Structure 1
């Protein structure tokens, strides 16, 4: 199978590369490296089935050609992370919406209609008071989110584009609403909470909890996420679906901080930080975010392999190896996974 991954040098994208390369697929990655890291792809650089282009999907003149080559496209290129979303609101809209539309237009014009897997987000559910979030409920956009609302707008627009191109031009689309994906290769630089907590705990620094910590999230290991994405795309075939992708275990941010401290055997304390101090502006954070996974499980039979504790332990191991001046911990991580599987 020919696999095109935009944003493939990033956190989720690079794990998709690992999955498809292990299967013997031909994989082409396009990434402008604004947040992605070329080192994430180091294991595949010399493989004949792998190709990388450093390019921006908004302007790259070869996009039509590679879209026409692909059987399946994972479109992950986007501005992500709370810090970047707040700092670059116009780029969020331009990159996330225009980039998605340009890719879908290339798929329409290419004759061959590849399957397109679009990365959406649980942010599209907005400030919703439902106990559990399911795919057929109404989406909301609220200015209570401050500048962050532009990100949810961009993802709702991407979903609308995917559905429109599917209905009008017959391009099969799998719209995947991600719920707080975490795991190896994720960095805390752009506001991702788990790697930030782990880095602070390993160094015995105060764990900075933003916005009170009562808000809850549901964290899914990236190694489970990519398996779920592939399973959903495979089961969908030429049909179009919207599906939640994540883990339905819910935990408050304060309890997450306590769990990281416990797993790391850390002497860190918890320090409360106001949202304005953390991000430079006030906004009302989303209180709950737990997915209904009935559709994903019903269509694919998907089951998670990684618990939150296992993910945290792996990230702690990698962070400690960094402090010791060793490699990135990848070999140890693979060995630990193999031991668990045995």
Structure 2
């Protein structure tokens, strides 16, 4: 059971990022008051352009590593959607210290600020990387392995801290373990660009994408609108059983990187037929990568009433259309 709470104020940390800005846009469209906290380390001002002048929107430039910024941002807030983090397994391997400062110390700052401001509920971006070296498929929330990267460690620590704040201080928390989210506003540039926007950009420029390994690694690619749905369900649920736990946030199906490229070539070649003939290059496997990822979404279906609206194919069609019209 969920209830509309559109007279509420939501703080979205990392609100200028890919997922955060989509959440800002969605909740503003439903009449919520939205505060965005971002330091623009990885977020972009252009992601806010469509609603920065909305009277219900407020931007606070600040850093979750600064407790004063966190305290300022939570004033008068009912719900927190905590998206701010330094993503990327490779980046965490190169610079584990900064990853830990943002993802652990920053996370703890936000929990403390939420507790002190008596925020109603704290929903946070967890990660499928928490499953680590666990071999079983599909991934079920209560069976995890050892982390395979500094990034994965930080996201697991988030879950541990959230649980302690629930049991010790009574703060309602829900963690959403994101599985390879993609869609509009996802940045194709930079050293740590996610695979889908990176491939799309390369194919649009008739450049050969580089696949790590033989291309048979698989992922549960999850369209942004499914993630928005999960955040909304987590924020609005009145099912007490659904609180103070974590959920896989995914579609519940897996696609190999080879299959992904077939989809992308098919959809992009409708705009430029030359893309169908772009060659693919195979490179080495990437350190810290797990071979396969597939989520069980049974828990989210049962406790939150989650029913993902977009399959990988449907989501990719939408994403390709957005990229072609916005980045070409």
The TM-score with structure 1 as length reference comes to 0.86
**Any idea what the Cα deviations from partners look like across 1:274-304, whole Å, max 9, x if unmatched?**
14xxxxxx62520111010001111232222
How many residue pairs are counted as aligned between the two chains? 311
Kept in 2, the 8 Å contact 1:229–1:245? The answer is: no
Gaps of 5+ in 2: 1-7, 270-274
Which secondary structure state, in structure 2, belongs to the residue aligned with residue 78 of structure 1? coil
Alpha-carbon distance, 1:169 to partner: 0.2
Q: Which residue of 2 aligns with 1:177?
A: 177
**Any idea what the Cα deviations from partners look like across 1:38-83, whole Å, max 9, x if unmatched?**
1111121111111001111111524224324211101111101244
Alpha-carbon distance, 1:191 to partner: 3.3
In the alignment, the residues of structure 2 paired with residue 306 and residue 118 of structure 1 have an alpha-carbon distance, to the nearest angstrom, of 22
Q: Which residue of 2 aligns with 1:212?
A: 214
Alpha-carbon distance, 1:170 to partner: 0.1
Hey, which of these two has a bigger chunk of helix by percent? Answer: 1
State yes or no: 1:75 paired with 2:79: no
Kept in 2, the 8 Å contact 1:202–1:316? The answer is: no
In the alignment, the residues of structure 1 paired with residue 327 and residue 101 of structure 2 have an alpha-carbon distance, to the nearest angstrom, of 38
Q: Residues 236 and 194 of structure 1: is their aligned pair in 2 closer, same or farther, counting only changes over 3 Å?
A: farther
Q: Which residue of 2 aligns with 1:146?
A: none
State yes or no: 1:130 paired with 2:130: no
The TM-score with structure 2 as length reference comes to 0.89
Q: Which residue of 1 aligns with 2:12?
A: 5
In the alignment, the residues of structure 1 paired with residue 180 and residue 300 of structure 2 have an alpha-carbon distance, to the nearest angstrom, of 16
**Any idea what the Cα deviations from partners look like across 1:81-101, whole Å, max 9, x if unmatched?**
244333322111111000011
| Equivalence map 1:148-227=2 (5 Å) | 149-188=149-188, 189=190, 190-227=192-229
Which secondary structure state, in structure 2, belongs to the residue aligned with residue 319 of structure 1? helix
Q: Which residue of 1 aligns with 2:262?
A: 258
In the alignment, the residues of structure 2 paired with residue 174 and residue 227 of structure 1 have an alpha-carbon distance, to the nearest angstrom, of 14
Gaps of 5+ in 1: 143-148, 276-281, 325-342
Kept in 2, the 8 Å contact 1:83–1:191? The answer is: no
Q: Residues 243 and 44 of structure 1: is their aligned pair in 2 closer, same or farther, counting only changes over 3 Å?
A: same
Kept in 2, the 8 Å contact 1:263–1:309? The answer is: no
Q: Residues 182 and 108 of structure 1: is their aligned pair in 2 closer, same or farther, counting only changes over 3 Å?
A: same
Kept in 1, the 8 Å contact 2:90–2:288? The answer is: no
Larger deviation, residues 153-162 vs 312-321: 312-321
In the alignment, the residues of structure 2 paired with residue 23 and residue 69 of structure 1 have an alpha-carbon distance, to the nearest angstrom, of 19
Larger deviation, residues 229-238 vs 166-175: 229-238
Q: Which residue of 1 aligns with 2:116?
A: 109
